[in-house]
Structure 1
Amino acid sequence: MTLWDRLKDSVQTMQAQLTAKKHELQSAAFRDASMAMCALVAAADGTIDPSERQCVAQLIATNDVLQNFPPDDLHRRFEDHLDELTTDFALGTASAMREIGKAKRRPAEARAVV
């Protein structure tokens, strides 16, 4: 089995575990940390390409675990983080990390965000 296949299997397993815990992942801290993490992923290379923005936005809209939250609210939070990252990458990253840090109060949520 190649590294890519193992990674793909690992991601599928983690997604199944998250789906099973969906009812535990309903706090505002989880919502905000998840959107901050999504924005950091979209901007991982230091730029925010429109295709990356669209791809992550689609993932947010279709993710089973995130169905606990209104899609418009998630999209707005995601876009707000992207705007911060675009305006000032360092400050935007710090802001996103603060949001992610708030999820540490609940270990299950912190693991789900990461």
Structure 2
Amino acid sequence: MALWDRLKESATTMQGQLIAKKHDLKSGAFRDAGMAMCALVAAADGSVDAAERQKVASLIATNEVLGNFPADDLQARFADYCHKLAVDYDFGKVSLLQTIGKVQKKPTEARAVIQIGIVIGGADGDFDKNERAVVREACFAVGIDPAEFDV
């Protein structure tokens, strides 16, 4: 099976797992961690490209699992996190990883945040090394072995 096919299958499987847990994913900490993860993936190469930002914003708006939250609230949080990364990428990244780390004591939420990062990163068919690296760092922030998600 080609890498692209495995990636697509994995993202589809993870999205299905997220939908199955949708009713358990309603906390503010999950919302914030999820948007921080999306911003990190959008800026994985060290900058927040406008096209990448728009693509991720569109995915956020249509993601069924994130439907537990008002779309305008999610967009505002995502935009704020992207702004933090644009102003000072390194400092912003540390801040966003701390936000992600707040779900560490809730394993369902922690795994869901990592899965969101993988789904967003793989949405364009290319889960590149930079996107994998930020998802791996997020795994460490929530205390999950990155090998569990093959990152």
Which residue of structure 2 aligns with residue 46 of structure 1?
Answer: 46
Which residue of structure 1 aligns with residue 21 of structure 2?
Answer: 21
How far off its partner does 1:48 sit? 1.1
Which residue of structure 2 aligns with residue 112 of structure 1?
Answer: 112
**5+ residue gaps, structure 2:** 115-151
SS at match of 1:12: helix
How far off its partner does 1:6 sit? 1.1
1:1-114 equivalences in 2 (<5 Å): 1-114=1-114
CA distance, structure 2, for counterparts of residue 10 and residue 67 of structure 1: 21
CA distance, structure 2, for counterparts of residue 85 and residue 47 of structure 1: 7
CA distance, structure 1, for counterparts of residue 101 and residue 19 of structure 2: 22
**5+ residue gaps, structure 1:** none
Question: What is the letter of the counterpart of residue 45 of structure 1?
Answer: D
Question: What is the letter of the counterpart of residue 86 of structure 2?
Answer: T
CA distance, structure 1, for counterparts of residue 48 and residue 36 of structure 2: 14
SS at match of 2:102: helix
Question: What is the letter of the counterpart of residue 39 of structure 1?
Answer: A
How high is the sequence identity, in percent, across the aligned residues?
A: 62
Tell me which protein shows more helix as a share of its residues.
Answer: 1
Runs of 4+ in 1 over 6 A off after TM superposition: none
How much is the aligned-residue C-alpha RMSD, in angstroms?
0.6
CA distance, structure 1, for counterparts of residue 109 and residue 81 of structure 2: 19
TM value normalised by structure 2: 0.74
